[in-house]
Structure 1
Amino acid sequence: MAREVYSVPVVETQVASLKKKTAVTTSWISIDGKGQGVILDVDKYAIMRRVQIHARDLRILDPMLSYPSTILGREKVIVLNLEHIKAIITAEEVLLRDPFDDNVIPIVAELKRRLPQDDLTCQGQGEEEEHPGMRNDMDTGEENEFPFEFRALEVALEAICSFLDARTRELETDTYPALDELTSKISSRNLDRVRKLKSAMTRLTNRVQKVRDELEQLLDDDDDMADLYLSRKLAGACSPVSSSGAPNWYLSSPIIGSKISRTSRASAVTVPEDNDVEELEMLLEAYFMQIDSTLNKLTTLREYIDDTEDYINIQLDNHRNQLIQVVILTGILCTSTFTSIMSYARHKGLVGS
């Protein structure tokens, strides 16, 4: 009896196995408007489907690729790449990459604390009790909250500015004593120490400069700032544009809230236009000033290092001139002594003329 040979269809199995091997999962945390976080171990395709983002924008958040600090506004998301803060912000949630990183853990806690609106609601009730006429001036249907995406953006900006400022203060604490020690005693050890500190300062300056340039670029373009208004775009897509239904965003930021008094916030009942970016501009300006102050500290530190180098060079030139004088005087003395000896020897007839 002939033996039949059956072919096993292994192509589909191999393809499925290959997909499992090539799919690399990454840890993310999703934080919603209630401050509740959910850990997600998913690949990039799941993230792209979840927030409807292009692959080129998601590559910006890849730590293996050297992308500069970036704040991108897309149709439904804001892409943040600020040093170790790699996040995707939507109108309803924040996706933060590598939530178990030591530098990211405090940001996760801050997002959970500040994203919920409970504190802002209580604050609004307290203001109404303090100003009884506020209810008469404001319609009950109007919203008096900072947009979700801006609250998340503010946490990220505050975290990165504080992080870079802390690194700058640490560098100042190490550099100024090292420069003073080098001034008092020039040695190979002190020179090598200052050289390493100067290299660290250069790297930190570049990092601060990138964040500052990104904020400056955003502030210079109103269209780019308008792209960050996710809630406004979502409201415009879900309902027809009308003056009565448009949301009225009021500034409740702890950083820049002091710039607007409670009375002005209570009485300024205006309907923002699509190109109104005043509140976001104030938010970005506050952190631009903070990061610019950090850059000024580094600039001052660089100038101090340059002045110390000039002083060291002057000292070295002075020592070199002193050595040259000693060599010249020694040469003159040796020549004079040799001439005197030769003259005495000729006078005594010890050597021929």
Structure 2
Amino acid sequence: MAGRDGGCVVPVDTPTAVAGFKKKGAGSRSWILMDSSGQENLMDVDKHAIMQRVQIHARDLRILDPLLSYPSTILGRERAIVLNLEHIKAIITADEVLLRDPLDDNVVPIVEDLRRRLKPENLSREENRYGNLAAHNDMETAEEDDSPFEFRALEVALEAICSYLNARTIELETAVYPALDMLTSKISSRNLDRVRKLKSQMTRLTGRVQKVRDELEQLLDDDDDMADLYLSRKLSGASPLSEAGAASWFLMSPTIGSKISRASRASCGNTLIHRRLYQYPGILDNHRNQLIQLELLLSSGTVCLSVYSLVAGIFGMNIPYTWNDDHGYVFKWVVVLTGIICAVLFVLIISYARHKGLVGS
């Protein structure tokens, strides 16, 4: 089937059609289009067709290129919302959602969620009549139907990225805490290298979470950006001064609030892990101090034994003197007195070190 803007368009009615399309193979320019009437199309089109369809500039479409590294961004344009949130690269209009690479493993759950959440009200009621949805989902659908199409699609995207980052945080916590406990019980190069790698992963994840959080906070702090997201109102020709409606919906939406809270919780979790990692240099310093104290004790003992050996060496010289004759009993006194003096010297050294706080601190 030929698309109205060029390219190959494949209608999608069920998830099995998506699986079949995956077997045929889709390029990096594959998109899935989902509209407000519940229709879905898989498209393999170039950027010019996308630009003509949603009427955005090439620089806005460039941030959705997976080959280019752009930070997380939410752009409100005249007729579209451009989303670049990690693996979620989408364009939302007042009645359509274009999602890039729908066959990616991380994007497939988002497609399923969009299919469920963006379903028209009449189709949702029909499914409810046949018992395909639970009662709590009925209430959720009823609430979502009261909000504009673009806001519902934006909610799904924010929920997906926050859930994804939260899952990555939980996985990292599961790996970090046992590694830290193992490092505490036994300090070795292997455990240190393992913690170092986990710390690098944590730093990267913290940066990703912070980018998403900063983008949301920046969006919430600017009323003009909030008003740009209300595409339905702009299409209906309403006054731009009525931007309070979009802002109040965005702030009061329970799902949006939960997504921001989840992003904050993931960021706080990474911060706690980061703080705990910073405690381990202190533990390493403590062990290093204990080794230094042990070295001081051994060095003091070595000095005392060296003094004892020096005295024994002096009196052991085979030099002819008159006092060497008939004074065999002196040997015992020399050995005993030298031993006592060396022991007292060792005690004095340790006492002085303890007085200065070098030992036992």
Under a length normalisation based on structure 1, what TM-score does the superposition of the two structures give?
0.73
Q: Secondary structure at the match of 1:236?
A: coil
Matched, 1:290 2:293: no
CA RMSD in angstroms comes to: 2.5
Q: CA deviation at 1:304?
A: 1.3
Tell me if structure 1 keeps the 8 A contact 2:34–2:41: yes
Give the Cα separation in 1 of the matches to 2:28 and 2:271. 41
Q: Secondary structure at the match of 2:30?
A: strand
Please, which of 313, 316, 331 is the counterpart of residue 345 of structure 1? 316
The runs of 5 or more residues in structure 2 that have no matched partner are: 1-26, 130-143, 322-361
Tell me which residue corresponds to 1:273: 242
1:137-176 map, 5 Å: 145-176=146-177
Give the Cα separation in 2 of the matches to 1:310 and 1:224. 46
1:267-297 deviation digits (Å, cap 9, x = unpaired): xxxxx93443200123444322221111001
Provide closer, same or farther for how the CA distance between residues 120 and 292 of structure 1 changes in structure 2, counting only shifts above 3 A: farther
Determine which structure has greater relative contact order: mean sequence separation of CA pairs < 8 Å that are 6+ residues apart, divided by chain length. Answer: 1
Tell me which residue corresponds to 1:224: 225
Q: Percent same amino acid among aligned pairs?
A: 57
Tell me if structure 2 keeps the 8 A contact 1:223–1:275: no
1:71-120 deviation digits (Å, cap 9, x = unpaired): 01000000000000000000011000011100000100110111013279
Provide closer, same or farther for how the CA distance between residues 76 and 273 of structure 1 changes in structure 2, counting only shifts above 3 A: same
Aligned length: 276
Give the Cα separation in 2 of the matches to 1:326 and 1:36. 81
Tell me which residue corresponds to 1:263: none
The runs of 5 or more residues in structure 1 that have no matched partner are: 1-23, 127-142, 242-271
1:158-197 map, 5 Å: 158-197=159-198
> Counting helix residues as a fraction of each chain, which structure ranks higher?
2
Tell me which residue corresponds to 1:257: none
**Aligned letter for 1:110?**
D
Provide closer, same or farther for how the CA distance between residues 119 and 308 of structure 1 changes in structure 2, counting only shifts above 3 A: farther
1:26-105 map, 5 Å: 26-105=29-108
Under a length normalisation based on structure 2, what TM-score does the superposition of the two structures give?
0.71
Give the Cα separation in 2 of the matches to 1:324 and 1:37. 77
**Aligned letter for 1:340?**
V
Give the Cα separation in 2 of the matches to 1:154 and 1:303. 32
Give the Cα separation in 2 of the matches to 1:145 and 1:120. 15
Give the Cα separation in 2 of the matches to 1:117 and 1:310. 59
Give the Cα separation in 1 of the matches to 2:228 and 2:123. 25
Q: Secondary structure at the match of 2:242?
A: coil
**Aligned letter for 1:279?**
W
Give the Cα separation in 2 of the matches to 1:298 and 1:26. 34
1:319-343 deviation digits (Å, cap 9, x = unpaired): 233224323432x134213321232
Provide closer, same or farther for how the CA distance between residues 41 and 121 of structure 1 changes in structure 2, counting only shifts above 3 A: closer
Q: Secondary structure at the match of 1:196?
A: helix
Structure exhibiting the larger radius of gyration computed from Cα positions: 2
Tell me which residue corresponds to 1:309: 281
